[in-house]
Amino acid sequence: MSSLSASEIKAIRALSQKKVRDREGLFVAEGEKIVAEAKESGADILAIYRRDEIGEQLMSRISLQDSPSPVLAVIRKPRQKPACPAEGLFLALDSVRDPGNLGTILRICDWWGIDGIFASADTVDQYNPKVVQASMGAIFRKSVTYCDLPGLCRDFRSQGLSVFGTFLDGTDIYREELSPQGLVIMGSESFGISAELGALCDRRLKIPSYGSGPKAESLNVAIATAVTVAEFRRKFQ
Whether 83 is covered by a domain: the verdict is: no
- State how far the Cα of 147 lies from the Cα of 124, in Å rounded to an integer: 13
pLDDT along the chain (237 residues), means of 10: 84 98 97 96 96 93 92 94 79 97 98 96 97 97 96 95 94 94 93 95 94 78 97 91
Q: Residue 1: its pLDDT value, please?
A: 52
Domain co-membership, 117 together with 205: yes
Q: Residue 2: its pLDDT value, please?
A: 59
Domain co-membership, 149 together with 218: yes
pTM for this structure?
0.93
- Model confidence pLDDT, tens digit, residues 154-186: 999 999 999 999 998 999 999 999 999 999 999
Which CATH number belongs to the domain containing residue 52 in this structure?
3.30.1330.30
Domain co-membership, 71 together with 118: no
Domain co-membership, 197 together with 218: yes
- State how far the Cα of 212 lies from the Cα of 38, in Å rounded to an integer: 46
Q: Residue 25: its pLDDT value, please?
A: 97
| CA 222 to each of CA 100, 149, 189, 199: distance values in angstroms, whole numbers, following the listed order | 9, 19, 9, 23
Q: Residue 74: its pLDDT value, please?
A: 98
Domain co-membership, 199 together with 94: yes
Domain that holds residue 105: 89-235
Pairing mode, strands 182-186 and 163-172: parallel
Q: Residue 53: its pLDDT value, please?
A: 92
Please say which residue of 76, 101, 133 terminates a domain: 76
Q: Residue 212: its pLDDT value, please?
A: 74
Which CATH number belongs to the domain containing residue 131 in this structure?
3.40.1280.10
Pairing mode, strands 26-30 and 71-76: antiparallel
Number of domains in the chain: 2
- State how far the Cα of 30 lies from the Cα of 69, in Å rounded to an integer: 6
Q: Residue 82: its pLDDT value, please?
A: 63
Eight-state DSSP code of residue 188: B
**H-helix or E-strand spanning residue 224:** helix 221-235
- Model confidence pLDDT, tens digit, residues 58-95: 999 999 998 889 999 999 999 877 667 778 999 999 99
Domain co-membership, 128 together with 215: yes
Q: Residue 231: its pLDDT value, please?
A: 97
Whether 191 is covered by a domain: the verdict is: yes
Domain co-membership, 219 together with 132: yes
Domain co-membership, 171 together with 146: yes
Please say which residue of 76, 100, 125 terminates a domain: 76
